[in-house]
Amino acid sequence: MSIIDEDFIYLFHEGRNYKTYSGLGAHICKEGGVEGVRFSVWAPGARKVNLAGDFNNWQGDLNPMEKIKNSAIWTTFVPGIGKGELYKYQIYTGTGKLIYKADPYAFYSELRPGTASRVYPLNSYQWNDEKWMEKRKREAYYDKPVLIYELHPGSWRRDKSGNFLDFRQLADELAVYLKEMGYTHLELLPITEHPFDGSWGYQTTGYFSVTSRYGSPDDFKYFVDILHQNEIAVILDWVPSHFCVDDHGLAQFDGTCLYEPADPSLAYNEWSSLNFDFGKKEVLSFLLSNAYYWFDIFHIDGLRVDAVSNLLYLKGRENKAAIEFLKDLNKIIFKSFPGVMMIAEDSTNWPLVTYPVDVGGLGFNFKWNMGWMNDLLEYIEKDPVYRKYHHHQLTFSFMYMYSENFVLPLSHDEVVHGKKSLLNKMPGDYWQKFAGLRCLYAYMMAHPGKKMLFMGAEFGQFIEWDYQKELDWFLLDFPMHKKLHEYVRDLNHFYLKSPSLWDADYRTEGFEWIDADNNEQSILVFIRRSVTEDRYLIVLSNFTPVVYRNFRIGVPENTYYREVFNSDEERYGGSGVRNPDNIKVCDKPWHNRSFSIKIDVPPLATIFLSPKKDKDIKEKN
């Protein structure tokens, strides 16, 4: 039932109402013993507000709304209607102009090109993810494996007729696929309501509305529920910095600049959308409630906050109101939902993004490492002959890798707009492209930080991502693509069972250079250490198509070593340059270490070596 009392109104106008959706919007309820729907909307600039919908043949005058005393909230109760009814607010502006607006707090919307809101209950789904939700409270993820699969729901798979799969179909297929492939998290491009498919969801009109393209709110709850039951976390892309300018949306909502700044120079941004006015308390309540809503009502496990740089700066200056919003957002979410992820997509050098607010940070717990991504992709697009002149693009990220809690993103943004797919970025012939991509993926797994890969990259999509059709799954009929797919699966599972690669991502003792300076051969060698087990892995990445025989590297101790993973294995499409199970150590100093080993280095490959402890040697013997 909708609850709008004095406390609700006070907190709303103070910017501290984090559950505005419990009162505003359309709520199925019983009043005076009569079942119906209570509608409430904030419209301070309106002269009059009516409710129009299917139930009154869009004759708004039949359902006038009343303004609640001491507020700018208009409300009305319509008896005898319920779930599924379409409606809009008929708003007479201060100048007398009549406009029709969708509900900013609508929980469901008409399928595009329709723009009406739709009545839908929030409490009609029976959850079955209690074990997951209880376990999540104890999670921190800093010392856990995190493999994120980034996905656009409308173009992962489609049915035989080319239509979208709904959330229930997607859930059943994805749960199996993600578990088999070894992914721990799923990150969805925005699933809030948006009018234009080509915006990929980033031009939002309905912040509280699950897009009707893929089903109902209950269908999305089922989606999250099924993934939770399969121990897969769900992260949503969330866009609090700007909103869509379409007439039925938030822009000029009551005839005034209600959600956006009144100054046009501050309102519009580089995407030709409108910035939120973070100096307005009711806008803060709207956005803070919206973030809270997705955790509270839909059990999601994280938000990836889009375009944080657009919040930190406005017209080249620090946007103090938006900065305070981010701090409040993170404090509220972590206090209310322990164990979740708040991820900043930020390309600036703003300090302490992933530090707590009480020590001067923004309060996120993770941040995309855009510098790592940009440098690495620039590097791998170069012909291997010239890579030695750009070795710093490989090593620079290690200089700042502990400055934040980073996620290493190979996202959708890098495989569109002429940038080419990851596979097609690779120079060389057909074989070298696949070898280079295998090398890149394994190197990514070895680099400190959590991991994220956009859909299609796991089997080598050749063309850029096209939101208008499903991925090129037919490529799995071709041997090299099938082998790459199997490689990514095996690499993911190798990562999951190797604490050395994740339990000290953000601790200095988890990483150690062996050789950072071999630019002539474009080779990096380093150690990843576990802090929970007495184990470590030696990682070598060769970014040239040259095989190096009897290649010497320094090692930490006098024991046998063995190769535990190699991206050049023949079963993955590689050339098959391998190393023996017992790699002998000699006391020849190398790389400032007392001991060294000789190995064969495969072309365009990353290999992992593990020390054989006494127990391993005895078992082998």
Active site amino acids: 306, 345
Residue 619: burial class (beta carbons within 10 Å; 0-12, 13-18, 19+): exposed
Distance CA 267, CA 276 (A): 7
Cβ 290 vs Cβ 207: under 8 Å: yes
Residues 6+ positions from 285 with CB-CB distance below 8 Å: 11, 12, 13, 14, 15, 16, 17, 18, 20
Question: How far is the CA of 440 from the CAs of 129, 410, 502, in angstroms?
Answer: 36, 11, 17
Inter-axis angle of helices 320-336 and 281-298, to 10 degrees?
30
Distance CA 420, CA 126 (A): 43
* Angle (CA) 61 250 329, round 5°: 130
> Closest Cα to residue 258, out of 104, 106, 67?
104
Structure tokens at 176: 């199996």
Distance CA 34, CA 509 (A): 66
Buried b / exposed e over 155-166, threshold 16 CB at 10 Å, is: bbbeeeeeebbb
Cβ 92 vs Cβ 49: under 8 Å: yes
Question: How far is the CA of 290 from the CAs of 17, 67, 333, in angstroms?
Answer: 11, 23, 11
Phi/psi for 250 (5° steps) reads -80, -20
